[in-house]
Amino acid sequence: MNEPLRIKWKKRLAPIHLLGHAVLLGFGLVLLYPLVFMVLSGFFNKTEFMQTILGVFPTPKEPTLANYKSLILGSKDAAVTTYLANSVIRTAYNTIWALLTSFLAGYVFARLKFKGKDQLFLVLLATQMIPGTLAIIPTYLEFARFPFAGGNDVFTGGTGILNTWWVYLIGGPAINIMGTFLVKQSLEKVPIELDEAAIMDGAGTMRIIFGILLPLQLPIMAFIAITTALGTWNDFVTPFFYTTSDGLQTLPAAITRISSVGASPGAVINYPMIITLSLGITLPALLIFFFFQKYIVQGLANTGIKG
Amino acid sequence: MRRHRDGVIAAAILTPMFLFWLVVSGFPTLFGFFLGFFDWVGLNDKPNFIWLDNFAHFFRDPVYTHALWRSIWLGGLVTAVTLAAGFGAALLMNLPLFGKGVYRSIWYIPAVTSTVATTQVFNIFLDTNNGVINNILKALGKEPIVWQYSASWGIFWIVVYSVWKGVGGAALIWLAGLQSVDPVLYEAADIDGAGRWGRLRYVTLPGLKPIATYIVITSLIGAIQIYEQVLFITNGGPYGQTEVLVFRIYRDGFWDFNLGMAGASSLIMGIIVIVVTVIYYSWSTQSDRRTTIPVKPLKGGR
Q: Give me the pLDDT at residue B199, please.
A: 82
ipTM metric = 0.88
pLDDT band of residue B248 (cuts 50, 70, 90) is very high
Q: Establish if B98 belongs to a structural domain.
A: yes
Classify the phi-psi angles of B285: left when phi > 0, otherwise alpha if psi is within -120 to 50, otherwise beta: beta
Interval B14-37: pLDDT, tens? 999 999 999 888 898 888 888 889
pLDDT band of residue B208 (cuts 50, 70, 90) is confident
Are A105 and A185 spatial neighbours (Cβ–Cβ below 8 Å)?
A: no
Range of the domain at A58: 42-73
Question: Do A92 and A132 reside in the same domain of the chain?
Answer: yes
Chain A CA closest to residue B180: A305
Taking the mean position of all CA atoms in its chain, how far away is CA B165?
A: 11
The residue count of chain B comes to 302
Average pLDDT, stretch A151-157?
Answer: 67
Across the interface, whether the CB atoms of A305 and B180 are under 8 A apart is answered yes
Tell me which DSSP letter residue A209 carries.
Answer: I
- Beta bridge partners, B48, equal B39
Mutate which of A8, A9, A24, A287 to disrupt the B interface (most B C-beta within 10 Å)?
A24
Measured CA to CA, the distance from residue A193 to residue B151 in angstroms comes to 62
Residue A289 contacts B, CB cutoff 8 Å = yes
Q: What are phi and psi of B171, to 5 degrees?
A: -60, -40
Please name the residues in contact with A304: beta carbons below 8 A apart, sequence gap of 6 or more. B173, B176, B177, B211, B214, B215, B218, B292, B293, B295
Q: Which of residues 161-220 of A touch B (CB under 8 A)?
A: 170-176, 178, 181, 205
pLDDT(A305) > 80:
no
Domain count, chain A: 3
Average pLDDT, stretch A260-280?
Answer: 84
| Percent of chain A clearing pLDDT 90 (strictly above) | 28
Q: What is the pTM of this model?
A: 0.89
| Percent of chain B clearing pLDDT 90 (strictly above) | 38
Interval A166-184: pLDDT, tens? 999 988 888 888 889 889 8
Measured CA to CA, the distance from residue A52 to residue A44 in angstroms comes to 9
Interval A188-214: pLDDT, tens? 888 888 888 888 888 888 888 888 888
Question: Do A257 and A298 reside in the same domain of the chain?
Answer: yes
Classify the phi-psi angles of A305: left when phi > 0, otherwise alpha if psi is within -120 to 50, otherwise beta: beta
pLDDT band of residue A62 (cuts 50, 70, 90) is confident
- B137–chain A nearest CA distance, Å: 11
Question: Do A85 and A97 reside in the same domain of the chain?
Answer: yes
Q: Give me the pLDDT at residue A301, please.
A: 67
pLDDT band of residue B244 (cuts 50, 70, 90) is very high
SS3 sequence, chain B? CHHHHHHHHHHHHHHHHHHHHHHHHHHHHHHHHHHCCEECECCCCCCEECCCHHHHHHHHCHHHHHHHHHHHHHHHHHHHHHHHHHHHHHHHHCCCCCCHHHHHHHHHHHHHCCHHHHHHHHHHHHCCCCCHHHHHHHHCCCCCCCHHHCHHHHHHHHHHHHHHHHHHHHHHHHHHHHHHCCHHHHHHHHHCCCCHHHHHHHHHHHHHHHHHHHHHHHHHHHHCCCCHHHHHHCCCCCCCCCCCHHHHHHHHHHCCCEHHHHHHHHHHHHHHHHHHHHHHHHHCCHHHHHHECCCCCCCCCC
Question: Do A211 and A287 reside in the same domain of the chain?
Answer: yes
Across the interface, whether the CB atoms of A282 and B172 are under 8 A apart is answered no
pLDDT band of residue A250 (cuts 50, 70, 90) is very high
Which one of A191-200, A263-272, B238-247, B289-298 scores highest in mean pLDDT? B238-247
Question: Do A110 and A135 reside in the same domain of the chain?
Answer: yes
Domain count, chain B: 1
Q: Which residues of A touch B236 (CB under 8 A)?
A: none
Q: Give me the pLDDT at residue B87, please.
A: 94
Q: Give me the pLDDT at residue B19, please.
A: 93
Residue A89 contacts B, CB cutoff 8 Å = no
Q: Report the b/e string of A22-44 with b at 16+ CB within 10 A.
A: ebbeebbeebeebbebbebbbbb
Across the interface, whether the CB atoms of A173 and B17 are under 8 A apart is answered yes
Question: Do A89 and A107 reside in the same domain of the chain?
Answer: yes
- The CATH number covering residue B125 comes to 1.10.3720.10
Question: Do A146 and A191 reside in the same domain of the chain?
Answer: yes
The residue count of chain A comes to 307
Are B134 and B128 spatial neighbours (Cβ–Cβ below 8 Å)?
A: yes
Interval B153-169: pLDDT, tens? 999 999 999 999 999 99
Question: Do A13 and A62 reside in the same domain of the chain?
Answer: no
- Beta bridge partners, A305, equal B292
Q: Which of residues 213-232 of B touch A (CB under 8 A)?
A: 214-215, 218, 221, 225, 227, 231-232
Across the interface, whether the CB atoms of B295 and A290 are under 8 A apart is answered no
Measured CA to CA, the distance from residue A76 to residue A95 in angstroms comes to 31
Q: Establish if B46 belongs to a structural domain.
A: no
Mutate which of B124, B174, B224, B227 to disrupt the A interface (most A C-beta within 10 Å)?
B124
Q: Give me the pLDDT at residue B288, please.
A: 56
Measured CA to CA, the distance from residue A289 to residue B166 in angstroms comes to 16
Average pLDDT, stretch A107-118?
Answer: 88
Average pLDDT, stretch A239-267?
Answer: 87
Q: What are phi and psi of B49, to 5 degrees?
A: -70, 120
Cis peptide bond upstream of B110, omega within 30 = no
Q: Which residues of A touch B132 (CB under 8 A)?
A: 37, 54-56
Q: Give me the pLDDT at residue B107, please.
A: 93
Measured CA to CA, the distance from residue B1 to residue A114 in angstroms comes to 11
Q: Give me the pLDDT at residue B296, please.
A: 44
Q: Give me the pLDDT at residue B266, please.
A: 87
Chain B CA closest to residue A30: B164
Q: Which residues of A touch B2 (CB under 8 A)?
A: 113
Interval B80-139: pLDDT, tens? 999 999 999 999 998 888 888 889 889 999 999 999 999 999 999 998 888 899 999 988
Q: Give me the pLDDT at residue B43, please.
A: 67
Interval B60-77: pLDDT, tens? 999 999 999 999 999 999
Q: Which residues of A touch B229 (CB under 8 A)?
A: none
Measured CA to CA, the distance from residue A222 to residue A220 in angstroms comes to 5
Question: Do A100 and A15 reside in the same domain of the chain?
Answer: no
Q: Return mean pLDDT, chain B.
A: 85
Q: Which of B12-16, B153-157, B172-176, B180-184 has the lowest mean pLDDT?
A: B180-184
- Beta bridge partners, B165, equal none
Q: Establish if B39 belongs to a structural domain.
A: no
For the packed helices A117-129 and B259-283, what is the interaxial angle rounded to 10 degrees? 120
- Beta bridge partners, B39, equal B48
pLDDT(A278) > 90:
yes
Residue B295 contacts A, CB cutoff 8 Å = yes
Across the interface, whether the CB atoms of B254 and A297 are under 8 A apart is answered no
SS3 sequence, A50-64? HHCCCCCCCCCCCCC
Please name the residues in contact with A142: beta carbons below 8 A apart, sequence gap of 6 or more. A160, B23, B27, B28, B31
Chain B CA closest to residue A303: B295
Q: Which residues of A touch B215 (CB under 8 A)?
A: 304
- The CATH number covering residue A125 comes to 1.10.3720.10
Question: Do A29 and A46 reside in the same domain of the chain?
Answer: no
Chain B CA closest to residue A25: B103
Q: Give me the pLDDT at residue B292, please.
A: 52
Q: Return mean pLDDT, chain A.
A: 85
- B192–chain A nearest CA distance, Å: 22
Measured CA to CA, the distance from residue B121 to residue B95 in angstroms comes to 33
Average pLDDT, stretch A74-98?
Answer: 91
Question: Do A36 and A150 reside in the same domain of the chain?
Answer: no
Tell me which DSSP letter residue A76 carries.
Answer: S
Range of the domain at B113: 53-291
Question: Do A86 and A232 reside in the same domain of the chain?
Answer: yes
Are A150 and A228 spatial neighbours (Cβ–Cβ below 8 Å)?
A: no
A160 or A133, greater pLDDT: A160
